[in-house]
Chains A and B, each alone.
Chain A
Amino acid sequence: MPTDALLKSLHPLEVKVLLAYGQGEPFSAARLEKDLAFKPGQSNQALSWLAGKGLIKEVSRQRRLSYSLTELGRQYREKGTLEERLAALLKQEGPLSLPEIASRLAVEAKEIGSAFGAMSKAGWAAMNEAKKAVLAARAEMRETGLATIRALFALFDEKEAVGEQELSQAQAELISSYSRKRGAEKGAFRTLEREEVEYALTAGGRQAFAQLRGQGVTGEEVGVLTPELLASGAWRTARFRPYNLASPPQRVQMGRKNPYVDFLEELKDKLASLGFEEFDGPLLETEFWNSDALFMPQFHSARDIHDVYHLKRPTHARAIEQPYLDQVAAAHENGWTTGSLGWRYPFDREFTRRLILRSQGTVLSAKQLPKARVPGKYFGVVRCFRYDRVDATHLADFYQTEGIVLGEEVNLRTLLGLLKMFAVEVAGAREFKFVPGYFPFTEPSVEAHIRHPELGWFELGGSGIFRPEVTKPLGIEVPVLAWGLGIDRMALVAMGLNDLRELFTSDIEQVRLRRRK
């Protein structure tokens, strides 16, 4: 028993076929074209759909010939065959020699010869004593012959192809004579061979027929509601074909934001909502801001050629902002006025101008200090570069999320409060713990570890209170909390990925399919 869903899925063409042949008589594509005025494409579609649904089955298969016009044939149909034109010329001009005919019709002599040969053989024309062609005396005979030719070509006025069963005996002979005489290439007709398949309704098809009839479905139901139906008011009496609402929809290519960018932008919104102001800066940085201002000694191992990207072009900044250069240099050399012993080595002012690719987001925190407000909260989500071999957990360039909090009264406990806020608000964690950490530019330093809903315990970020050797030379007298968050692992989890390289994939299809949980 065909289901309701199956019946609803029937196309109007299918419905029409089922209704027309419900009594059990066989049918073919050609029959559909004749009986139901289907176009050839439509009949084939309807048959294949119905067969696919098991509503009809093949009962027989027969070879059929049909004919269509070649380019030459189309010329004959429009301008007349050579015989017709020759006859018309002789009728108008009287007897003419074959070369004269060839030149008048602008046709090669050879072709005129064979056309005249065919005509004289059929008794329509003859050669007189002066070796000139004349029409045969028996007019009715030649008129009948020409009418046969015309009728044959007229068959093709309506159709592309004519089946052999549609041809009279005389027409069939004519076609074969044209084909034989002119050869395959130059013939006026092309022979097409195809199989004609006959179908009949299956038991399911007959049941579908009965159900359709019972429901009064005609196949004439309205498919698309058109502006014309609305304008004319015909919708009032129209019956609308029901759709199969459960059929799988087509996929659409839509414009869309990148889910990783979205993740980063939401993080920025979150931080802004917590009262942080965003900062940003150039990809190329000086050694000064990247490390010297952060009180990392110029001989620090993390500053070596194997850890940061040096540049071939451009190589150096022209100048470093004063008085920060002098103050930072003094902090390195002897602690300046910070109360520190300093690193006690001669600060290299040439080296400090050298350009590198920003290796840590903290650079921008340091750069923000001279222009920061107190109290103030700042952050940046910025691209940094590391001298690392690229693999699933390392990228040559990646995002770091960093920031600072300045205030007269900030201290270790407010730092822990800040970390707790990030754990709860940014990472959605309920459990967290703090352990002592180490960063060259903060003292004390604290790491926040959280229990992420999906990742389990991991280090959410590092933080600390900037060393006075960092803040004082940059003109800041209040304590400054500095923090950084590791967000890439959370980003991977949010998108169901496990390889950092996928965040920056080139593959359009992957990005189109990617979605957040």
Chain B
Amino acid sequence: MPKIECSERTLFGLLGRKLERKELEELLPAAKAELDDWAGGVLKIELNDTNRPDLWSGAGLARQLRVYLGGQAPEYPFVSSASVSRDFGGRTLLVDEGLRRIRPYSVAFLADGRPIGEDLLKELIQSQEKLCWNYGRKRSSIAMGVMRGEQVKFPVRFQAADPDKTSFVPLDFDRPLTLRQILKEHPKGVEFGPLIAGFPRFPHLVDAEGRTLSMPPVINSAHLGSVKVGDTRLFVELSGTDLDSLLTACAIMACDLSDAGYAILPVKVIYPYDTPHGREIVTPFHFQKPVDMDLAGAARLLGRAIKTQEAEGALRRMGLAVKRKGEIFTVTPPVYRNDFLHPVDVVEELMIGCGMDSFQPVWPEDFTVGRLTESGLFGRRVRDLLVGLGYQEMIYNYLGSWRDLVERMNLDGGQVVEIANPMSESYELVRNSALPGLLASEAASSNAAYPHRIFEIGKVAVVDERENYGSRTFSSLALLYADREAGYNHVRSHLSSMGYYLSRDIGVREAQDPRFIAGRGGELLYKGRAIGIIGEIHPAVLDAWGIQMPCAALELDLEKLLEA
């Protein structure tokens, strides 16, 4: 979940008044936000809604709270739409045909009229980070550059450039590198290069004089692409693979800068191919379609009657433009939001707008029968018997290492479920047996008074080609008896008592198992089917675990034993 930092000055300045801590904490849920910390004039706030990137800046959060507290939804007259096209002042951005399959979309605008201060520059960088990292999936669907607008000459071109013949001085460097060299030598090139490295040509943004602005989505140029405190004109460009996300992010940046006192100057983007919104788009651009909500249906879902007037007020508090025809509310999302897929999305706005406190809990009344799984109940019977036999129940993690689950068990690992992207060697397999957990306990517990009688009932998974999922998960019972005198006979007796009280006749057949001493290990049989193993743990296994106490053990498939 995104966390942001913003200065008290920005938030309360844009909100129009200062709030006490308690007031702020009570207000933040309207933006699904929580206050993490407030110290030294800086607020740390966690935003829970991953579909609301407009809230991930001080300006955006202030906008939401300001309107919620009774303010007017702001007007942003620089926004164009399918029906209204704003004056773009001759500023155009030309997209090259070659980008169609590489990074097809780019949108842009200028922000003009105020020298940029350190605070705002810091917040701009944070917004850019959050939008591109969280919302833009680590720059793959959205990358953004903020550049020195004073010097950019239009038309700007977004072109597919030859990576070996094109070069410029990237940010933080003092010599020119080819686009391909940047991928290898620049830290940002190493980090984001993989997004474009597979294409024959790389995205390249240049101005009318052929000067490099940036190489999206990797790095800006050191000259036009490096904004400095005191600059009064910013060129903001966003490129990516999903036009609607891009337009949303573009609007968020424009509205934030507008709220900060900048005049937003639109740019017309001209595509040589069709886009969902045509070949020519003046950006920022409002593409969001209105959504119809039926108040009666909404009231049914929310559990109480809601008057039309209350509903209208509530939706407006949420910053939504509302038109009503009888019970049907037509809601147009603001330009900076793209999270309305279904009328239920408006219902939630209605809920927050009405206030959570206006909905009283109702005790659930439908009668339903409570029930536990058969396998879980059977497991409980087994637990009770083993506790009676003097065993301590254990519970372990399900992920383990190749070393513990395979090597130390003297196995070949043929049936083990393997993780493709393990976080560490310790968690690279899903356990195929609960025995290694018990042996790990024994290895870690030589100081605990003997005898050790321990067991676990838990899930294990094994590869099984016959299953749809290529694997089978089942409940397993494993127990271990470690003591100077521990041997097969003890464990066999315990199994026999358990089987008696479960009314299940469990047999044993000698079998080769590298985990057990030859001639002292076998398979457990139930109704003629092998359901588990039993035996004295092989000294080679004990040695591999560093255990110096004889151990006898068994493990069985409780689900096979459950079948009556």
Contact = CB atoms under 8 A, between A and B. Distances in A.
Interface of A: 251, 253-258, 260-261, 265, 268-269, 271-286, 299, 301-302, 304-305, 309-319, 335, 338-343, 355, 357, 373, 375-377, 383, 385, 387-390, 395-397, 405, 407, 409-414, 416-421, 433-438, 440, 443-447, 465, 467-469, 479, 503-504, 506-509, 511-512
9 contacts: A261-B383, A284-B470, A314-B463, A314-B471, A341-B341, A405-B364, A413-B303, A436-B30, A506-B445
Contacts of A272: 370-372
A422 to B, nearest CB: 11
Given A377-B368, A436-B32, A283 B388 contact: no
B343 interface: yes
A312 B416 CA distance: 10
Contacts of A312: 418-420
Interface residues of B, number: 94
Given A284-B430, A301-B137, A506-B445, A414 B351 contact: no
Interface of B: 29-30, 32, 48-52, 134, 137, 141, 289, 300-304, 341-345, 347-348, 351-352, 356, 359-373, 375-376, 380, 383, 386-399, 416-423, 426-427, 430, 437, 440-445, 447-449, 451-454, 459, 461, 463, 468-473
Contacts of A377: 364, 366, 368, 370
A282 B440 CA distance: 25
Given A504-B396, A506-B437, A467 B370 contact: no
B341 A335 contact: yes
Contacts of B452: 508
Contact of A278 (B376, B395, B397): B376
Contacts of A311: 417-420
CB-CB nearest 7 A-B residue pairs? A314-B470, A413-B303, A411-B303, A375-B366, A444-B348, A272-B370, A416-B361
Contact of A414 (B32, B289, B343, B362): B362
Contacts of B352: 436, 444
A269 B370 CA distance: 9
Contact of A412 (B301, B387, B447): B301
Contacts, number: 282
Contacts of A271: 370
Contacts of B420: 309-312, 315
A268 B376 contact: yes
Contact of A443 (B303, B344, B427): B344
A413 B137 contact: no
Contact of B380 (A253, A265, A315, A409): A265
Contacts of B391: 255
B361 A396 contact: no
B368 A277 contact: yes
Contacts of B398: 283, 383, 385, 397
A423 to B, nearest CB: 10
Most chain A CB within a 10 A radius of its CB, from B351, B368, B391, B459: B368
Given A277-B371, A314-B470, A317-B469, A339 B459 contact: no
A256 B392 contact: yes
A317 B471 CA distance: 9
Nearest to B292: A339
Contacts of A299: 137, 141
Contact of B360 (A319, A416, A512): A416
B302 A411 contact: yes
A396 B418 contact: no
Given A311-B417, A443-B344, A503-B395, A284 B461 contact: yes
Contacts of A260: 395
A376 B345 contact: no
Contacts of A318: 468, 470
A106 B382 CA distance: 68
B4 to A, nearest CB: 15
A301 B245 CA distance: 14
A313 B464 CA distance: 10
A412 B302 contact: yes
A276 B38 CA distance: 42
A414 B360 CA distance: 9
Nearest to A345: B242
